Amino acid sequence: MQWNWQHKDWPDFTYDAAALSEYDRVFLHKAGIMHGSLKHIAEADKESLRVQLISEEAYKTSEIEGEILDRDSLQSSIRKHFGLKTDNRKIPAAEQGIAEMLVDLYKTYDAPLDSQRLHRWHEMLTGGRRDLQDMGRYRTHAEPMQIVSGSLHEPEVHFEAPPSKIVPDEMEQFIAWFNESGTMPLLLRSGIAHIWFESIHPFEDGNGRIGRAISEKALSQGLGRPTLIALAQALERSRKAYYAALQIGNRGLDIQDWLEYFCQTVLEAQDYTQSMIDFLIEKSKFYDRFEGKLNERQDKVIARMFDEGIEGFKGGLSAENYISISGAARATATRDLQGLVEIGALKKTGERKYTRYYLNIEHKSANLYK
């Protein structure tokens, strides 16, 4: 016996629920703070935050699978699905598919899970593909479903999923558990759902993206509202640890290590989302503080700096950046930047060609700017 689904007790996972309870308490506490913080954000900024978070999740959940998408196309597609103003660009199939799936997840988080929705998600993800046998349905191929690495001559098999012929029965059992387990601790349910789904690996492709969506669905159902936490981003930042934890969990029914990793990562994702909310609150305070004090050029550059998000311009804003964004002559740019520093809108570091500027805001993630 090599894989968890081959165990006689499958799928009775074992874990220490008591040892994981503190994670749930912290998660709920942070979720309350986050929900309260959102009340201090203007409606337009809430829309912007929602689009930004979902588009970043779409980008990162695809990046985990080695697929790099276009962020602008993702945002445009997500805005369209929410009925917001867009730039009417043509959206490639990959960006359109993941955006549609995550918006559907957001809008229908409280609906029971069923095979029809999972099939629709898969159809969204695989739209335009010509290399798959099974799209919008569970896999049917007879050959083993394996996750491998290495050369074709000496491949390393990291996991082999159940054969296709038993996938419908496995998924029926999984879906029934998911819909009947709503009273479980949030993080425990979300973590179990992810590794259980990944162990079945029911689709020919797209299992990782759908599995992470199911985890977010579980969290949202537990809270009674969309979580909007940066889960995929947190998982992508620790991609090697993510795969390692999944691999350990796939080899037996003791999933304590997986759940420890998953819970810690969810809390990190919460922290990142909270930092984005805090950033928007500071943005509002900034504009209140400097209302009527910025000229048109300065206002344009400041707006662009805020558009860069909590991480800001890599290495800070330079005079060259200012000239490029504002179209100002060098002497004018110098005066504008000096003026922004004097009124306290920007912080200045370095000298001469190493001079850089940062937004002067009170933010716990301010170190991300430098």
Res 176: pLDDT: 98
Judged against a pLDDT cut of 90, whether residue 64 lies above it is answered with yes
320 and 182, same domain (yes or no): no
Does 158 reside within a domain?
A: yes
Does 284 reside within a domain?
A: no
266 and 298, same domain (yes or no): no
Does 283 reside within a domain?
A: no
Between 297 and 156, the higher pLDDT residue: 297
Judged against a pLDDT cut of 50, whether residue 24 lies above it is answered with yes
For the stretch 133-146, pLDDT in tens is: 999 999 999 998 99
176 and 226, same domain (yes or no): yes
Does 178 reside within a domain?
A: yes
Q: Residues 22-28: what's their mean pLDDT?
A: 98
Domain carrying residue 336: 291-369
249 and 315, same domain (yes or no): no
Percentage of the chain lying above the pLDDT 70 cut: 97
Q: How confident is the model at residue 129 (pLDDT cuts 50, 70, 90)?
A: confident
149 and 261, same domain (yes or no): yes
Judged against a pLDDT cut of 50, whether residue 209 lies above it is answered with yes
56 and 203, same domain (yes or no): yes
For the stretch 93-115, pLDDT in tens is: 999 999 999 999 999 999 999 99
Q: Residues 340-360: what's their mean pLDDT?
A: 95
- Say how many domains are in the chain: 2
Instruction: Out of 278, 312, 339, pick the residue that ends a domain.
Output: 278
93 and 170, same domain (yes or no): yes
Does 285 reside within a domain?
A: no
CATH code where residue 331 lies: 1.10.10.10
Instruction: Out of 278, 308, 331, pick the residue that ends a domain.
Output: 278
CATH code where residue 109 lies: 1.10.3290.10
Res 149: pLDDT: 79
Does 286 reside within a domain?
A: no
Q: How confident is the model at residue 370 (pLDDT cuts 50, 70, 90)?
A: very low
Q: Residues 53-64: what's their mean pLDDT?
A: 96
137 and 168, same domain (yes or no): yes
273 and 299, same domain (yes or no): no
Judged against a pLDDT cut of 50, whether residue 368 lies above it is answered with no
Judged against a pLDDT cut of 90, whether residue 22 lies above it is answered with yes
Does 181 reside within a domain?
A: yes
240 and 311, same domain (yes or no): no
Q: How confident is the model at residue 151 (pLDDT cuts 50, 70, 90)?
A: low
Judged against a pLDDT cut of 50, whether residue 369 lies above it is answered with no
For the stretch 219-248, pLDDT in tens is: 999 999 999 899 999 999 999 999 999 999
Judged against a pLDDT cut of 70, whether residue 1 lies above it is answered with no
180 and 46, same domain (yes or no): yes
Which region among 32-36, 39-43, 123-127 has the lowest average model confidence (pLDDT)?
Answer: 39-43
Q: Is the pTM of this model over 0.85?
A: yes
Does 200 reside within a domain?
A: yes
245 and 315, same domain (yes or no): no
Res 362: pLDDT: 79
The pair phi, psi for residue 252, each rounded to 5°, is -165, 180
Judged against a pLDDT cut of 80, whether residue 363 lies above it is answered with no
Instruction: Out of 227, 249, 278, pick the residue that ends a domain.
Output: 278
Q: How confident is the model at residue 364 (pLDDT cuts 50, 70, 90)?
A: low
